[in-house]
């Protein structure tokens, strides 16, 4: 079952990859992932691990914070809960 959140995140990765004219196969080589690993991530069928996200960001030359900032804007259900245990607002 595909989650809407994974679909949004995968679409962002796909848009960033295409904007840099990098094929899925080339991205796989740059990240050291199997070439069949990229498509399920971009299609929201697989959630990437944190280390995979970092490898993809490095290969696409995008800061993880920028990637997540894009996500925050595209997910209509995303909200930050105020007053968490770290006391940040």
Q: What is the pLDDT along the chain (89 residues), one digit of tens a residue?
A: 568 999 999 999 999 999 999 999 999 999 999 989 999 999 999 999 999 999 999 999 999 999 999 999 999 888 876 655 544 44
Do the domain assignments include residue 83?
no
Do the domain assignments include residue 52?
yes
Residue 57 has a pLDDT of 97
Instruction: Tokens for 11, please give them.
Output: 């679409």
Do the domain assignments include residue 88?
no
Residue 83 has a pLDDT of 58
Residue 87 has a pLDDT of 47
In angstroms, the CA 56 to CA 59 distance is 5
- Residue 36's domain comprises 4-74
Domain count, the chain: 1
Which among 16, 29, 30 is positioned nearest to 66, based on CA atoms?
16
What secondary structure letter does DSSP report for 70?
H
Residue 2 has a pLDDT of 63
CATH number of residue 62's parent domain: 1.10.260.40
């Amino acid at each position: 079952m595909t989650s809407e959140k994974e679909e949004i995140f995968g679409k962002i990765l796909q848009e960033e990859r295409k904007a840099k004219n990098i094929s899925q196969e080339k991205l796989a080589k740059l990240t050291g992932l199997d070439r069949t690993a990229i498509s399920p991530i971009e299609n929201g069928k697989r959630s990437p691990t944190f280390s995979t996200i970092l490898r993809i960001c490095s290969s696409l030359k995008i800061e993880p914070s920028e990637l997540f900032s894009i996500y925050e804007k595209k997910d209509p259900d995303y909200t930050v809960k105020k007053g968490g245990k770290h006391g940040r607002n």
